A and B are shown apart, each in its own frame.
Chain A
Amino acid sequence: MLDFQQLMQILPQQLVFGVTLGMIYGLIALGYTMVYGVLKLINFAHGDVYMVGAMTGFYVAHALGFAGHPSMVGLLVTLVCSMAVCALLGALIERVAYRPLRGAGRLAPLITAIGVSLFLENTGQVLFGADPKFFPPLLESREFGRVGALSISNIQAVVLATTLLLMAGLEFVVMRTRFGRAMRAVSFDAPAAALMGVPVDRVILGTFVLGSALAAAAGILVGLSNPKIDPLMGIMPGIKAFVAAVLGGIGHIPGAMVGGLVLGIVETLVSGYLSSTYRDAIAFVVLIAILLYRPTGLFGSAQTEKV
């Protein structure tokens, strides 16, 4: 048993792990929350898009020969290729599985989402094989910086920097562009936005493209820090990221990031200090505790019911 002083000594290091994990949850959660915003749909296939992102990264890195030669350029090219592939995949999923069900209630698309999720997992097992693969080391792991006893590896630094950049990019797209304004309008009131001439279907498609690209980035970043990847790797992080999105108030973009961070930190602390067997349960305990006090999440606004 560690005494209190030792506990406090490893705390900052645990927090770094927690923040890194939380940023990745946050990136995936953004996709859930944006899609929910415009479509009021829980896109259960999103975790599997993240898996496809990691897998694409694996094949791209090997095909272009970055696998044996770690470099920043290799990482960047892999990241962009994987994001592009997943953006296309996201658009395809929306077009094939969700658009035909527009206006058919909210549960039918939920079931096709589960169907798409099963499809990606099982196709992944046939195409990539069910055995885990090892993501090529695109960066040589070394210490990036040190603050007192706290050590930050270059991989953690890349994860943090990439996530922050992507978030800033998303913030810019959502708040400063025509598309972003259209997206916010659809999210606020889709029928009214349609009446104002916003091309709702195209905005929804664009939202899927954005969200899926972010999930792909999360897949690559996870591949860097935790190289074992397999076709079912998306299931648990997918659910956790969804929890993070709900935690922050689903439909609320900064809320998803905060939810991801809360979840990542709590999970790391629990598996570090208590027991890793409860790791997967703690996310849900936190979620339920928060929902009981704030039934619409941390930043979600309560909907008034009209009679």
Chain B
Amino acid sequence: MRRPWIGLVLAAALLVLLDAGLPHVLNPYYLTILTRIGVAVLAAVSLQLINGFTGQFSIGHAGFMAVGAYVSAALSVYLGAGWLVALGAVLPVPLARALYFPVPLVAGGLAAALAGLGVGIPALRLRGDYLAIATLGFGEIIRIAILNVDAVGGARGFSLTSAAQPAADLRYDGLGAIYAVVALSVLVIARLVYSTGGLAFRAVREDETAAESVGVATTRVKVEAFVVSSFFAGVAGALFAHSEGYVHTNSFAFLRSFEIVVFVVLGGLGSISGAILAATVLTAAPEVLRGLGEWRMILYSLLLIVTMILRPQGLMGQRELGPLRWLATRPRQRHAAA
């Protein structure tokens, strides 16, 4: 594939078609699962940047999703509903919605990035397992802090309906748009880690001391990875909040963080394709196994253990597939191959 951009444009067109067409083909249950897969993929790929590419071990990713979800939801409920109604008065409604919805996604991402900066600077002084437990701690502190804010519903959860503008529909579950956001985010992360500058992430992962000795500002690189990763976790949280139309802090407890770590390790540390694959399979698995009733989660956990024992390096190891593989190849190697 010489020009991935053409493929991308085609993919975007396809996604818009899907957005309009899928609700006529699939029932809402499948649409919900597909949406959750999209969110899981984005969360997993963003964590891959820290855990897989920079070699730091963060297990508090759900905290940043929570920040993104709640900030974007609060923005939509308290301000966005008014904007949406005002836009809808001058523009056709679908266009007004398409123009509005990137706003909470970016806002959620930025808020999470800020949280990532605040957590990353002190936490990244720690190493290995101490870093892991500190990120877990920060994740839980974020969750419990949100739980105690009454403006976003506290323990009742937070519904995306505005009291001032009850007519404004703040849910956004167009599958094509969601997958477009996920695809764009994955592309940005892939371009970042497989760029020349992105070599710094992998240098830190392979050998921090050696990286430092050749002039890589390791602390800076680690904080950068943390901030970028948190941004996309925030976008994933915002997508989650706006597609479900309701958020509760229970969705962002440490079990959620563990789940994202499982996606990353099971997929293969340092493989974006692996994170996508694992997030997709493991989000779909409990639904596929639903026929087994109460035994399904037992089987799910056994599958997890057996897969890990059979493939300790993860499903994909460090390899990439398809367009990601093309991105992962250094330009010089590409020339050599051609």
Contacts and interface: CB of A to CB of B under 8 A. Distances in A.
Q: Do chains A and B interact in one complex? A: yes
Contact of B254 (A115, A239, A277): A239
A233 B266 CA distance: 27
Interface stretch (A104-112, A147-155, A157-165, A221-229): A104-112
B300 interface: yes
Nearest to B52: A107
A119 B134 contact: no
Interface residues of B, number: 42
A189 interface: no
Interface stretch (B13-21, B86-94, B119-127, B161-169): B119-127
Interface string A98-122: 0011001101101110111011001
A42 to B, nearest CB: 6
Interface stretch (A6-14, A54-62, A205-213, A290-298): A290-298
Interface stretch (B97-105, B135-143, B238-246, B322-330): B135-143
Nearest to A245: B133
A288 interface: yes
A112 B308 contact: yes
B294 A118 contact: no
B269 to A, nearest CB: 7
B254 to A, nearest CB: 7
Interface string A67-111: 000000000000000000000000000001100110011011011
B132 A42 contact: yes
Nearest to B254: A239
Contact of B130 (A119, A123, A283, A296): A296
A2 interface: no
Given A107-B265, A281-B140, A246 B301 contact: no
A284 B305 CA distance: 29
Interface stretch (B64-72, B107-115, B144-152): B144-152
B6 interface: no
Interface in B284-312: 294-295, 297-298, 300-302, 304-305, 308-309, 312
B258 interface: yes
Given A284-B141, A305-B209, A112 B298 contact: no
B130 A295 contact: yes
B206 interface: no
A281 B142 CA distance: 9
A119 B300 CA distance: 8
B203 interface: no
A246 B304 contact: no
A307 interface: yes
Interface in B36-87: 57
Q: Across chains A and B, which 3 residue pairs bring their CB atoms closest together, nearest first?
A: A284-B137, A104-B312, A118-B301
Interface of A: 36, 40, 42, 44, 96-97, 100-101, 104-105, 107-108, 110-112, 114-116, 118-119, 122-123, 125-126, 235, 239, 242-243, 246, 250, 277-278, 280-281, 283-285, 287-288, 291-292, 295-297, 305, 307
9 contacts: A40-B129, A101-B309, A108-B265, A123-B298, A280-B140, A281-B140, A284-B141, A291-B134, A305-B209
